[in-house]
Amino acid sequence: MKIAVAGTGYVGLVTGVVFADLGNEVICVDIDPSKVDAINKGQSPIYEPGLDELLQRNLEEGRLSATTDLAQATREAEVVFICVGTPPTETGEPSLAQVDAAAAAIGQALNGYKIVVNKSTVPVGTGDRVRRIIEQNRTAPYDFDVVSNPEFLREGSAVHDTLNPDRIVIGADNPRAAMKIVELYAPLERPMLITNLATAEIIKYASNTFLALKISFINAVADLCERTGADIVQVAKAMGYDPRIGSAFLQAGLGFGGSCFPKDVQAFAHTVQRYELDPTLFHQILAINDARPVQFVSRIRERLGGLSGRTIGLLGLAFKPNTDDIREARSLEVIRLLLHEGATVKAYDPVAMPRVQAIYPDLIYCRNAYEVAENADALALITEWNEFRQLNFERIRNAMRQPNLFDGRNLYDPQRMRKLGFYYYGVGRTAENGEFKTVL
Ligand code: UDX
């Protein structure tokens, strides 16, 4: 099939490359010529395991190319994917400016029947909006259909997730269009759900909001664990054995960041409100999440008797492991709070340091965890990169001014850390001496 993909962010580029790998002819389109150049040279503008190899192979075999010309790509394609960004506006509602612009360009370029597939995360009703914009812009009454095909890929495993999705959701009001997209995905042999446009659009937001809800839920319970002498890790483990609950996304810690959850929950709350329904539940998910870094920094402050003049070392800066993405990363809020109170901040992240450096040029950036530990009054794990799992903790302890370990992701075994001579704090894990326990 001949496919055009508008937008070469995480979703667009990975989708384009994977469809090319399945034997389709794919043209990736971006308004940014530097991204287009990089792609045509076989260099992915984003860091994603496995993407470079796949990109290079499909470029070499002539199934993939990139351009800035959406009109030309549309004219050549049977199916046009819209994978542009929908960044939040000041109100928290997603901006549809890029979706509108892509729809207008596609409309003007229509030269025969096309299927326009929206993969960008958009509020319910956007499919209809795209249809109207295309109708208003087409130069002759060429036929077309709009399909919603939300993406559930995670950063860091985007290629894997696109090749092995849990489900493929195809929302279309015309079965002919739906069947064409089914054909496109058939080689993946994964469960497909064919539904109408509005349902597909809501599935995306409902799924992400529910995952964010699980995280905020477990974090709210973690706070109760700290006050009562309970251990959130064991609570979550026991809950997870119930298949109705499931063990995924019950890891307490610093909360969620990234380009999806914070903005999707906020957007969903707006949509709910727009239809005159009560958004309290969704607002609460965000409020609990926002409080996580504040509470974490409080624990460090309490232990050190103040933060002014103290040196705090941070392990990990990316919003999660295996990505250089720092959008809504918890590290940024932790850094802001620490600096505000006069602490000196040292940090190390395997790939995300340059991005944080652009925002906070004055931190002490280190080459590894050991350098971060040197003369630190506290070491705080922010992102659970694999390389932090098996550190030489005797070396870390000896390098520190005071051996205080704050585990923002509950990565370490509290008993082991205490045996090694650390003061250890894990989120929702009461201190051995019952320090966080409140006696009523
Ligand atoms: C998410 C969804 O998983 C994906 O399906 C959707 O398409 C886009 O949004 P992503 O943002 O890449 O993907 O990251 P994810 O792995 O889901 O993690 C999101 C955030 O939640 C991270 O900051 C992570 O640290 C945090 N998290 C995750 C927790 O705090 N606890 C958990 O149990 C799980």
Q: What is the pLDDT of residues 362-397, one digit of tens each?
A: 999 999 999 999 999 999 999 999 999 999 999 999
Q: Are residues 358 and 407 in the same domain?
A: yes
Q: Is 366 a catalytic residue?
A: no
Q: What is the pLDDT of residues 231-255, one digit of tens each?
A: 999 999 999 999 999 999 999 999 9
**Count of the separate structural domains present in the chain:** 2
Residue nearest (by alpha carbon) to ligand 1 atom 16:
154
Q: Is 268 touching ligand 1 by the criterion CB < 6 Å?
A: no
In this predicted structure, what is the pLDDT of residue 317? 98
Q: Are residues 369 and 231 in the same domain?
A: yes
**Within a domain: 359:** yes
Three-state SS letters, the chain = CEEEEECCCHHHHHHHHHHHHCCCEEEEECCCHHHHHHHHCCCCCCCCCCHHHHHHHHHHCCCEEEECCHHHHHHHCCEEEECCCCCECCCCCECCHHHHHHHHHHHHHCCCCEEEEECCCCCCCHHHHHHHHHHHHCCCCCCEEEEECCCCCCCCCHHHHHHCCCCEEEEECCHHHHHHHHHHHHHHCCCEEEECHHHHHHHHHHHHHHHHHHHHHHHHHHHHHHHHCCEHHHHHHHHHCCCCCCCCCCCCCCCCCCCCHHHHHHHHHHHHHHCCCCCHHHHHHHHHHHHHHHHHHHHHHHHHCCCCCCEEEEECCCCCCCCCCCCCCHHHHHHHHHHHCCCEEEEECCCCHHHHHHHCCCCEECCCHHHHHCCCCEEEECCCCHHHCCCCHHHHHHHCCCCEEEECCCCCCHHHHHHCCCEEEECCECCCCCCCCCCC
Q: Are residues 21 and 103 in the same domain?
A: yes
CA-323 nearest atom, ligand 1? 12
Q: What is the pLDDT of residues 165-208, one digit of tens each?
A: 999 999 999 999 999 999 999 999 999 999 999 999 999 999 99
pTM, two decimal places: 0.94
**Within a domain: 319:** yes
Which of 28, 83, 225, 260 is labelled catalytic?
Answer: 260
Residue 432: pLDDT over 80: no
**Within a domain: 236:** yes
Residue 48: pLDDT over 90: no
Residue 68: pLDDT over 90: yes
**Within a domain: 435:** no
Q: How far is the CA of 259 from the centre of ligand 1 (A)?
A: 9
**Residue 62, domain extent:** 2-195
